[in-house]
């Protein structure tokens, strides 16, 4: 059938990934450093992703395509570990108000100055955050985010900050950071996204902090393969943390 559907210009796309979380149906994914339509029947053709593309690589066109299928969307979202949109959200009705203005506000890239010092009065109450950017999830960070430029990059398995008590002071301070779970997410996506970050951002050093559990080795493998694929010569340090919060190994 002839209907409206998203078209992604591969020449314009730089793989930043901002369109991915903007699509409530999960119809867009990153393949080989470029955004692609996962399947015609997952795209409703309404274009919630358009406003998120800084390269103007996304258009709504009319062409012969499979009919939009809400059941396929629900199955697809469950298969990738996302929750289905609220009723009506897939069709841009009032219940999708959170998408007004272009996608999820939580995926908007921001850089800010981390608190570096604290006073004697509040030292006993809290420690300052060393986080200097947003977002941090590898699926959400733009490849060309300014906080990656000439940065020392921390790649952390997302369980590490919960297990290691001094994560902010020992690992995060002074670094840009991305987090992910190699057991629950697509490691091929990690490899592609990290390759583009290494290739385009003049990263100075890479620290990968993982949990000691075997499945967590995937995030190290993705980082090492991405570094090789990028062709860049960047020093990489690997740290393993035990589930009891101790540094077990470092290389």
- The domain limits of the chain are 2-96, 107-250
* pLDDT at position 32: 80
pTM: 0.57
**Residue 110: per-residue pLDDT:** 60
Q: How confident is the model at residue 250 (pLDDT cuts 50, 70, 90)?
A: confident
pLDDT in the model for residue 214: 84
- Helical segments of the chain, H only: 19-22, 70-79, 120-123, 160-163, 167, 187-200, 217-230
Looking at domain 2-96, its CATH class is alpha beta
- Whether residue 238 is predicted with pLDDT greater than 60 in this model: the reply is yes
Fold classified for 107-250:
Rossmann fold (3.40.50)
Residue 19 has pLDDT above 90, yes or no: no
Higher pLDDT, 209 or 16: 209
Residues 47-88 have pLDDT tens digits of 878 777 888 899 999 999 999 999 998 888 877 655 444 433
For residues 18 and 53, the answer to whether their CB atoms sit within 8 Å is: yes
Q: What is the mean pLDDT of the chain?
A: 82
* Distances in whole angstroms, Cα of residue 229 to Cα of each of 195, 208, 222, 246: 6, 17, 10, 32
pLDDT in tens, 97-133: 333 333 444 445 566 565 555 555 555 556 789 999 9
């Amino acid at each position: 059938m002839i209907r409206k559907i998203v078209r992604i210009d591969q020449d314009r796309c730089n793989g930043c990934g901002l369109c991915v979380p903007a699509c409530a149906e999960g119809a867009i994914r990153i393949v080989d450093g470029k955004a692609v339509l996962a399947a015609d029947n997952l795209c409703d053709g309404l274009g919630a992703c358009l406003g998120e593309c800084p390269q103007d690589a996304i258009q709504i066109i009319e062409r012969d395509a499979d009919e939009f299928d809400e059941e396929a969307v629900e199955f697809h979202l469950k298969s990738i570990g996302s929750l289905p949109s609220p009723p009506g959200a897939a069709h841009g009705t009032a219940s999708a108000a959170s998408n007004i203005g272009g996608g999820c506000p939580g995926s908007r890239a921001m850089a800010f100055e981390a608190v570096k010092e604290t006073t004697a009065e509040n030292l006993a109450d809290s420690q300052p955050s060393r986080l200097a950017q947003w977002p941090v999830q590898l699926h959400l960070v733009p490849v060309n985010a300014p906080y990656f430029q000439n940065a020392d990059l921390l790649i952390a398995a997302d369980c590490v900050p919960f297990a290691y008590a001094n994560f902010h002071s020992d690992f995060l301070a002074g670094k840009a950071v991305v987090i992910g779970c190699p057991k629950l997410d697509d490691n091929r996506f990690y490899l592609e996204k990290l390759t583009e970050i290494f290739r385009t951002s003049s990263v100075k050093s890479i620290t990968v902090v993982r949990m000691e559990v075997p499945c967590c080795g995937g995030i190290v493998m993705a980082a090492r393969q991405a570094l090789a694929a990028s062709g860049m010569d960047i020093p990489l340090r690997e740290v393993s943390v035990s589930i009891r919060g101790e540094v077990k190994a470092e290389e």
